[in-house]
Amino acid sequence: MELKNILLDIEDGIALVTINRPKALNAINDDVMTELGWLFNDHLDFQSLKGVIITGSGEKAFVAGADITQFKNLDKQAGCEISRKGHKVYNSIESCPIPVIAAINGFSLGGGNELAMSCHMRIASTNARFGQPEVNLGLVPGYGGTQRLIQLIGKGRAMELLLTADIISAEKALEYGLITHIVEQEGLLAAARSLINKISSKGPLAIARTIELVNAYFDKNANGFMKEADRFGETIGSDESTEGVNAFLEKRKAKFRNDS
């Protein structure tokens, strides 16, 4: 697939995915959603990558929402299809076996904030702003916002943000737990890369299984404790674990990757 709305750059084992519609403040339309789905389901080779960074083009916006022009004159069925497609794509990001970090440079609103929340971690520049303003349009969030926002900041705060459509600062987002770090905009990507490189020094299988287990906590059809026991057994019997345990006992740094 030819990427027309997303820039992809892979360097030092890190894939930088940039939503590139700066004139529309990187608003997500159907083409962007299709390209994201293709990247995470068909194109990116997770075994050869340390992690993925998702960001927005320019200095004003990460993603300032969904492209509202695509919502005009839709019926219920069409609306359901748009939402379900978004769920499928964002779920594929959330279930990615390597760390996915949202590097939020400016507005992270509506469908853009839902994209950020589907990532495993979120760091933001000082000028970042966050919100779910869908009720201003007589809409509800359609890409998982009513579910993931509660998971990240709790029911009370999520309910207030969803019902008031208030926009909050990076500082407030950090206080709420929506993000984990605030940095100056010029250092945002470097901070994201540093975090991925830190994680990549750990066992790749253990990282993948940990992501799976954390996601299982929110899966109503999964028994997280049973799955944890199974994955613990899997990892403890792996070559990766043998290397990690031996390195600990020999008081040396474990070598999990060829480039470690």
> Which tens digit of pLDDT belongs to each residue from 179-203?
999 999 999 999 999 999 999 999 9
CB 26 within 8 A of CB 63: yes
Report helix, strand or coil for 17: strand
Task: Please tell me which residue, 134 or 255, carries the higher pLDDT value.
Answer: 134
Helices (H), the chain: 30-38, 76-94, 111-118, 145-153, 155-164, 170-176, 188-200, 204-216, 224-236, 239-249
Residue 245 pLDDT: 87
Cα separation of 128 and 248, whole Å? 41
Q: Over the stretch 78-111, which tens digit does the pLDDT of each residue have?
A: 999 999 999 999 999 999 999 999 999 999 999 9
Active-site annotation holder among 114, 184, 186, 243: 114
Token representation of residue 36 = 């994201």
Banded pLDDT at 70 (limits 50, 70, 90): confident
Q: What band does 118 get if pLDDT is binned at 50, 70 and 90?
A: very high
Closest CA to 131 of 90, 164, 89, 93: 164
pLDDT value of residue 26: 97
Range 163-177 average pLDDT: 98
The predicted structure's pLDDT at residue 37: 98
Place of tokens 């075994």: 47
What is residue 256's predicted lDDT score, i.e. its pLDDT?
87
Q: Is 134 tagged catalytic? A: yes
Whether 260 shows a pLDDT value over 50: the answer reads no
Average pLDDT over residues 148-175: 98
| pLDDT in the model for residue 259 | 52
Q: Does residue 258 have a pLDDT over 80? A: no
Active-site residue identified among 35, 94, 134, 240: 134
Write down the CATH superfamily of domain 6-199: 2-enoyl-CoA Hydratase; Chain A, domain 1 (3.90.226.10)
The mean pLDDT of the chain is 95
Model confidence at 116, pLDDT cuts 50, 70, 90, reads very high
Annotation says 59 is catalytic: no
What φ, ψ does residue 6 adopt, rounded to 5°? -135, 140
Cβ–Cβ under 8 Å, residues 120 and 210: no
- The domain limits of the chain are 6-199, 203-249
Q: How many CB atoms lie within 10 A of CB 121?
A: 18
Rounded mean pLDDT, 225-250: 90
Residue 234 vs residue 122, higher pLDDT = 122
